[in-house]
Amino acid sequence: MLVAAAVCPCPPLLVPEVAAGAGPELDAARAACGDALAVLATARPDRLVVVGPAEESGRGTHPEGARGSFRGFGVDVDVRLGADRGTEPERPLPPSLAVAAWLLESTGWTDAPVEGLGVGEPLAAERCIQVGRDIAAGAERVALLVMGDASACRTLKAPGYLDERAAPFDAAVARALGAADVAALRTLDADVACELQASGRAPWQVLAGAAEGAGLSGALLYEAAPYGVGYVVAAWS
C-alpha cells in the first residue's frame, strides 16, 4: 500500500556541478525536494520506488545499486541508486533517475531499499495507472519518489518555445499534485502533455494508480518556471 510520495522535477541542473554559475537559481527547488524526501523518511516505508521519464517506449526497471552519471553534461559526477549490492547493473540510469539518485544521496537516504522504474512518454494512461497499482500492491508500506517536469513552453526562450496552453496546464498539474487529486492526474491529456513537452505526465499517472484508495493528503512545496520549464515539488502523506 502507498504510504507516502514525493514529487520532484528532474532537470540535471538540480545538481550544482551541472548548474555551475546558475546553481543558486534552483536553491529553492533543491530545498523543497529535500523537504519532500523528508516526508518519505517519516513514513517509514518498507520499499521506495523511484519513477521517472525515460526513453523507453514502455517501462524499464533498475535495481538497487544501479549507477548513473552526469558526464554527458560535462561534469565528473557519478551516482548510485540506493545501496551498493556488489553487482554491476547492465543498464545505466536514465537522466531522471540519476537526478533522483543524486537527491537521495544528498539527503542521506538509508530508510528503505530502493529500486527505479523508467517510464516512456508514449505509455498510455491506463497502463501507467496499472503499473502504479502493481507497485502499491508490492509491499505493505510502499513510498514513491516521482520525477518529472511540467511543460517546457512557458516562455519564448523555453526549450519548446512559448505556448499559451502551457501556463494553464502547469497550474492544473500543480493544483492536482498539491491536493493529491488522483482523479485529476488520471485524466491528464497525454497528447497535450506531449505537445507541451511535459515529461512528468506518465510518472504522475503511475502515482495516481498507486494512490488509489490510499487516502493521502498533499502539499505543494514549490512551483516555478525559472527557465521556461515548469518545476513542481509536492509531498503526499
pLDDT in tens, 117-166: 999 988 999 999 999 999 999 989 999 999 999 999 999 999 999 999 99
> Cell numbers 515529461 label which residue?
199
Q: Where are the domains of the chain?
A: 2-236
What is d(CA 166, CA 171) in angstroms, rounded to the nearest whole number?
Answer: 9
pLDDT in tens, 31-64: 999 999 999 999 999 999 999 999 876 678 999 9
pLDDT, position 89: 63
| pTM recorded for the entire structure | 0.96
Cα three-residue angle 181-155-122, rounded to 5 degrees: 50
User: CATH for 2-236?
Assistant: 3.40.830.10
pLDDT, position 58: 64
CA distances to 78, 149, 159 from 17, rounded to whole Å, are 11, 20, 21
Which helix (H) or strand (E) segment is 74 a member of? none
CA distances to 95, 206, 214, 218 from 133, rounded to whole Å, are 25, 8, 11, 19
Helix residue ranges per DSSP H, 190-234: 190-195, 201-210
Q: What percent of the chain has pLDDT over 90?
A: 86
What average pLDDT score do residues 184-194 get? 97
Quote the cell numbers at residue 127: 497502463
pLDDT mean across residues, the chain? 94
pLDDT, position 83: 83
pLDDT of residue 11 exceeding 80, the answer is: yes
Confidence of residue 222 (pLDDT cuts 50, 70, 90): very high
What average pLDDT score do residues 177-185 get? 98
Residue in 103, 117, 100, 96 with CA at minimum distance from that of residue 199: 96
Strands 142-147 and 47-54: parallel
Q: Cα–chain-centroid distance for residue 192? A: 19
Confidence of residue 91 (pLDDT cuts 50, 70, 90): confident
